[in-house]
Amino acid sequence: MSKPLIVQSDRTMLLEVDNPEFEACQSVVSKFAELEKSPEYLHTYRISPLSLWNAASIKMSADEIVECLEKFSRYSVPKNIVNEIREQISRYGKVKLVKEESGELAILSNEKGFLQEIGNHRAVQPFIESTFPDKIYIKKEYRGHIKQALIKIGFPVEDLAGYDEGNKYGFNLRPTSISGKKFGMRDYQRACVEVFHAGGGNEGGSGVVVLPCGAGKTIVGIGVMQIVGAETLILVTNTLSIRQWRNEILDKTDIPPEDIGEYSGEVKEIRPITIATYNILTHRKKKGGDFTHFHLFGANNWGLIVYDEVHLLLPLCLE
């Protein structure tokens, strides 16, 4: 039986859908490569520095990735791909973002010359508060910006700064849903929750869940809410999605209806679990004016914010 994967020297990989080993290969490859095309018979993936750094962030080693390629590849894996994997995985974690006891955010690195190169780069300088030989202090409000800038210049930063805790809010998942069906998270859904949470350590607390349509991303979101145990703001694309999230939460958890609020064009409720639309948050009375409802982010001490269908966020905001 032929193997399902063809690894090419240009970093692309072709995965044969009809191969018996397709699902086993897909579940691993998707952790370190980006899906580019998925026609009926052949899916195209691409290995990139960012996809490899994402793999490193969930503790995948270069050896694991190379072993996976060798296991599923129909032909020998090109040497330049193996070298690229080892090089990019080795870069992750050499630059760290930490929060000091004073509350200041600092970039650290034990690699000689890294801090100097970072501090001198134009893409990073707007976000720097001050520089020292052994660390670079950054402006708190630019935490996300600095990470994006560092990725663009080839320095994947390991974010260990952690997050402030919000208001506590505990609840339980139902073993049987209100609709009468047995309920339990699937193994891959639970794995998503655990990778995100990282045992409550500073390595966790943020991330993007990428799953196929119908795989239960809403259930993953509810699972994250339960393990974090804090008051939550959920942002969705439209009012229909608000109702869908509300129904799923009521059906599969013991959260009472009065603790779930809707914040939309029709209703303005702020509750321990609040579901709002992107459109209401980006609403302005006039072009260039203030966002009328942006105060929602600070209206409660949220311990978690869930961005549903986050790939649509930028287009919605631009509209």
Percent with pLDDT over 70 in the chain: 96
Do the beta carbons of residue 54 and residue 32 sit within 8 Å?
A: yes
- Band (pLDDT 50/70/90 cuts) for residue 112 is confident
Question: Inter-axis angle of helices 239-252 and 217-228, to 10 degrees?
Answer: 60
pLDDT of residue 268: 92
Q: What mean pLDDT, rounded, does the chain reach?
A: 91
Q: Which residues contact 250 (CB under 8 A, 6 or more apart)?
A: 178, 257, 260
3-state secondary structure of 133: coil
Taking alpha carbons only, the member of 147, 45, 149 closest to residue 105 is 147
pLDDT at 40 over 90: no
Q: How far apart are CA 131 and CA 288, in angstroms?
A: 35
Residue 11 main-chain phi, psi, to 5 deg: 80, 0
Which letter, b or e, does each residue of 139-152 get, where b requires 16 or more Cβ atoms within 10 Å of its Cβ? eeebeeebbebbee
pLDDT of residue 289: 65
pLDDT of residue 189: 94
pLDDT tens digits, one per residue of 265-314: 888 999 999 999 988 887 667 676 676 777 888 889 999 999 998 887 76
pLDDT tens digits, one per residue of 240-260: 999 999 999 999 999 999 999
pLDDT of residue 179: 86
Taking alpha carbons only, the member of 229, 250, 255 closest to residue 170 is 229
Q: Which domains does the chain have, with CATH numbers?
A: 5-90 (no CATH), 95-159 (no CATH), 187-318 (3.40.50.300)
* Residue pointed to by tokens 């986050």: 310
3-state secondary structure of 274: strand
pLDDT of residue 315: 59
pLDDT of residue 291: 67
pLDDT at 316 over 60: no
pLDDT of residue 213: 81
pLDDT of residue 140: 92
User: What separation, in Å, do the N-terminal and C-terminal C-alpha atoms of the chain show?
Assistant: 50
pLDDT at 80 over 90: yes
pLDDT tens digits, one per residue of 120-164: 999 999 999 999 999 999 999 999 999 999 999 999 999 999 998
Q: What DSSP string runs through 157-196?
A: EEE--------B----B-SB-TTS-B----HHHHHHHHHH
Percent with pLDDT over 90 in the chain: 76
